[in-house]
Amino acid sequence: MPDATAKHFDEMEAALDGVFVRVRAELGVGAFGLQVINLPPHFDEPYAEHAHEGTDYEPANHGQEEVYVPLAGRATMVLGDERVVLVPGMAVRVGAAQLRNFLTADEPFQMLAIGGVPGEPYSAPPFTELGAGDRPPGR
């Protein structure tokens, strides 16, 4: 039997009312963080704004850099005073200390989020585990 796991995103456990899909845990990935983020139209929720250094609510994420890969739709990533339009066919790396937020207009947006702490072994935040509940601690 091959050492592989295949699942459709809509068959995977999700949290935050379907916004956060626990892809890493569903596939059994242990080397890096991997989630799908589904943002509805007109999304401007405050929990989307975050950094992974100093203000992070998950200690396992402290120092984590992330890469975002848009899969469907379009969104605007807010990086302080800068805005980046996210569309399929691109990727964006964001450092741990950089505050980031995501906003959508009239269409839903789906992206893959990949993360890890440079030079450190990966440690999965408890919220990303299967059965962890619908809301992260403190949110």
What are the residue ranges spanned by the domains of the chain? Answer: 9-118
Residue 115: pLDDT above 80? yes
pLDDT level of residue 53 (50, 70, 90 thresholds): confident
pLDDT level of residue 13 (50, 70, 90 thresholds): very high
CATH architecture of 9-118: Sandwich (2.60)
CA dihedral sign, ordered 120, 82, 46, 20: negative
Query: What is the pLDDT, as a whole number, of residue 83?
Result: 96
Contact 65, 96 (CB under 8 A): yes
pLDDT level of residue 23 (50, 70, 90 thresholds): very high
Kindly state the percentage of the chain with pLDDT values over 70: 91
Residue 105: pLDDT above 60? yes
